[in-house]
Structure 1
Amino acid sequence: MISEKMQKAFNDQINAELYSAYLYLSMKTYFDSLSLKGFANWFDVQVKEENAHAMGMYNYVFERGGKVELGAIEKPVFDAKCPLCVYEQVLKHEKLVTSKINALADVAEEEKDRAASSFIDWYVKEQVEEESGVEHLIATLKLIDDDKKALLMLDRELAARTFTAPVIG
């Protein structure tokens, strides 16, 4: 049975993951408006990943005999001045998510909930990959600078990205 404190922490994180999906969906609209379909695809994959992350936690709470309580999802706010600006905001957001996952891991440690700790480890590793991938895109966008041809080449590359449902846990 999951403790009340652990259950609340998971419910808060489920909300954070769903907010991430909503934020990335709103960022996708920016790239769709610029007809940068590859960038839009990158965000589409992110939306699916964030939803999968939320559902992984959702299922885990129920597996442990807990209750999922969904809260309101805030309206996403971001500044869409340029592709680089958007990805810098993505990195900032991913670092926030990392801090939230780390806080969730802290609750599992405080509660001495080894099952939760083991489950959360997957998310800790996932955040390393998330931040690294976004940092790589930021570095590439900085190299591209104002080169529209290079931006279109990157757009084509990002169009090839596909969603693979993660095996969580």
Structure 2
Amino acid sequence: MDPKVYELINDQINKELYSGYLYLTFADFYEAEGLKGFANWYMIQAQEERDHALIFRKYLLDSDCPVKMKAIDEPDKTFEAGDHMGPLEAALVHEKYVTSLINDIYAAAYDARDFRTMNFLNWFVDEQLEEEANASEMISNMQLFGSDPKGLYDLDREYLARAYNVPSPLAAE
């Protein structure tokens, strides 16, 4: 594997684990606010981010590349009580950042003519489209319904119904 592609993928493991930490803090915020559905949504997001790290880890191992685990930064986002929009907006910004990281790995793989890695990354490209769309929809829903107590309650119940699904690259094992 091209050294630059390897380093970017190995770094992405850390970035995905950080994303999980970040979403755990969002879940904790919503739990403290009494919004168990929003907390559930972000607990599942945290699980998915850990799974993404494991998918990258498996790809490196399957490619006979060593995995170097690094320290995970502490999330730096805090929100004031009642700021139910804050984590949603921060999540969209973060997902756009993750998309840029995936694009950087893809570009490095393209430059190295590493077609196997490009093919591997296609799942993540599609996943990021979904992640950004979900984050945008949550913001729209909060703008439309979040200022009304009944609307906020209904959104919270909707997000409480979300269930975890193993990502397809891990489900295939």
Same fold (TM over 0.5): yes
- Deviation of 1:111 after TM superposition, in Å, equals 1.3
Per-residue CA deviation, residues 31-66 of structure 1 (Å, 9 max, x unaligned), is: 111121100000011011101111000000000000
Task: Tell me the residue number matched to 2:62.
Answer: 63
Indicate the percent of aligned positions where both proteins have the same amino acid. Answer: 38
Task: Tell me the residue number matched to 1:51.
Answer: 50
Per-residue CA deviation, residues 112-154 of structure 1 (Å, 9 max, x unaligned), is: 1110000001001100000001101100100124211111110
- Deviation of 1:79 after TM superposition, in Å, equals 3.3
Paired letter, 1:149: K
Task: Tell me the residue number matched to 1:130.
Answer: 131
Task: Tell me the residue number matched to 1:156.
Answer: 157
Task: Tell me the residue number matched to 1:103.
Answer: 104
Paired letter, 2:40: N
SS of residue paired to 1:106: helix
**C-alpha distance in structure 2 between counterparts of 1:9 and 1:86, whole Å:** 27
Per-residue CA deviation, residues 2-53 of structure 1 (Å, 9 max, x unaligned), is: 2322211111111110100000011111011112110000001101110111
User: Is 1:24 aligned with 2:23?
Assistant: yes
Task: Tell me the residue number matched to 2:78.
Answer: 79
- Deviation of 1:168 after TM superposition, in Å, equals 2.3
Superposition RMSD in Å: 1.2
**Unmatched 5+ stretches in structure 1:** none
Paired letter, 1:95: K
Aligned length: 168
SS of residue paired to 2:67: coil
SS of residue paired to 2:169: coil
Paired letter, 2:164: F
Asked whether the equivalents of residues 18 and 51 of structure 1 are also in contact (C-alpha less than 8 Å), the reply is yes
Asked whether the equivalents of residues 7 and 67 of structure 1 are also in contact (C-alpha less than 8 Å), the reply is no
**C-alpha distance in structure 2 between counterparts of 1:71 and 1:92, whole Å:** 23
User: Superposition pairs for residues 3-14 of structure 1, below 5 Å?
Assistant: 3-14=2-13
After superposing the two structures, state which structure 1 stretch, 152-161 or 75-84, moved more: 75-84
Q: TM-score when scaled to structure 2?
A: 0.94
